[in-house]
Amino acid sequence: MWDGTLSAADFQYASKEFMKLWNHEECNMNQWSWEERPESSAQGYLILEGVSLPEIETPLMHESLSMETDDKEELFSDDATLTDLTSQPSRCTYHVIYNESYNVPTIYFRGYHSDGSPINWLDIHMSLPSHLAQQMDQNRWTFLTQEEHPYLHRPWFMLHPCGTSSIMSLMSTERLKQKSRGYATPPEPRKRGEGEDKQAVPSRSSDLEFDTKLEFIPSIREAPTNQVGNYRDQYLLTWLSFVGPAVRLPVPLDLFKSLN
């Protein structure tokens, strides 16, 4: 069974395929570009710049925040300032970099508020749907942390890649077929624009949610496991479907439809 990893060359290939798909799609999203890095075994990495994200605050998230110590948090919990922040989007840059140790893509990101101040760990925590915020709490040091960017050598947020290969492996055909048995009704696909950054995320423990997501990726589901080309073509999109929500990177659902 496929272990869910990619070689450096596969990553390079998958990136090019992914860019073709994403950049071709007519949507309001920014375009991915490829940054050449000869010292990298994948020869470079993917960049998505200037993504505007609304500062989302919901009452639910406020409840999940029990301890507030910092001045900034006080500010956030104040309803008067909330409206103001919501209208001012923050800007994020995402880098998808091949991880040489885990042989999987890793997402790095950095963002700034409209006032120029960098987005910090708590900002991210507050902007996430509650189940992901909970993940962040429970795995303070192993889920999302600020790490040194492998090429820029500056601190960037990074989603830890150690679980990626097992999730990707779960998405491979054999396992999926086993798992999708027993779910009679496929979950309804959501419409675009409907709180994309909060859309159903396959949490690491829930099989149902995996299947939910995979409904959108029929070709991975139907492809024979040994069709190497296929998993490379769709690897990054599949991967982003569960990584994106944790880093608030909206993945247009039309991309999954176009795979049909």
Partner 1 sequence: MGNEDEDGKTGEEDFAVRAFEARKHVWMGAIPLLVHLHESEVTSLPAPTPLLILAPRNGYLPLLADSIKPHFQSTLPPGSDTIWFDYEGLPLKWHIPTGVLFDLLCAEPERPWNLTVHFRAYPFDLLSPCEGEDSVKWNFVNALKEASYVMFGSTKSVMNLSQTEQSDLWKSVVKGDLESYDHIFSRSKPGMNLNSNAPWNTGRSASHRPSSADSELENKRTRAGEGVRPGRLPMRFYIRSVKEKFDDFCDSSPVDSWDQLVYMTRPIDVPKDKETVLTLRDALMKVVPHLFSSKSPIVNNESDESRRSPESSAESDPAKLGEVSDQDTGNEKLEPEVGDIVVVAPLPCGADETGDSHEALEEESRMNAQDPCGNLYEFGDEDKLLTTTGGLWEGLKVQSAKQFEGVVRIQGIELNLDIPLDWVARNLCGPEMFIHLCICTWVSR
- Which of the ranges 77-85, 94-102, 191-199, 202-210 carries the binding residues for partner 1, by CB under 8 A? 94-102
CB of 13 to partner 1, least distance (A): 20
Cα distances from 40 to residues 43, 107, 139, 197, 237, in angstroms, run 5, 16, 29, 31, 22
Q: Which x/- pattern over 105-134 shows residues binding partner 1 (rule: CB under 8 A)?
A: -------------x----------------
Active site residue 162: yes
Name the catalytic one among 162, 174, 183, 206.
162
CB of 38 to partner 1, least distance (A): 9
* Binding residues for partner 1 restricted to 35-74, rule: CB under 8 A: 39-41
- Which of the ranges 59-67, 95-103, 204-212, 250-258 carries the binding residues for partner 1, by CB under 8 A? 95-103
Helices marked H in 56-148 — which ranges?
59-64, 71-76, 79-87, 121-127, 130-138
Place of tokens 């192993």: 142
- Which of the ranges 48-56, 97-105, 235-243, 246-254 carries the binding residues for partner 1, by CB under 8 A? 97-105
- Which of the ranges 52-60, 135-143, 202-210, 251-259 carries the binding residues for partner 1, by CB under 8 A? 135-143
Question: Could you tell me whether strands 90-99 and 104-112 are parallel, antiparallel, or unpaired per DSSP bridges?
Answer: antiparallel
Of 141 and 188, CB closest to partner 1: 141
Q: Please, what is the angle between helix 228-243 and helix 8-24, to 10°?
A: 70
* Identified binder of partner 1 from the candidate list 20, 72, 154, 192, rule CB under 8 A: 154
Number of Cβ atoms within 10 Å of the Cβ of 144: 23
Q: How many chain residues interact with partner 1 (CB under 8 A)?
A: 21
Angular region, 43: left φ>0, alpha ψ -120 to 50, beta rest: left
By the rule CB under 8 A, 102 interacts with partner 1: yes
Of 104 and 217, CB closest to partner 1: 104
Question: Could you tell me whether strands 44-53 and 104-112 are parallel, antiparallel, or unpaired per DSSP bridges?
Answer: unpaired
> Does an H or E element contain 53, and which?
strand 44-53
Strands (E), 136-215: 144-148, 155-159
Establish how many alpha carbons lie within 13 A of residue 144's alpha carbon, considering only the half-sphere containing its beta carbon.
Answer: 25
Residues at the site binding partner 1, with contacts judged by CB under 8 A? 3, 39-41, 100-102, 118, 140-142, 145-148, 150, 153-155, 160, 162
Q: Which residues are known catalytic residues?
A: 162
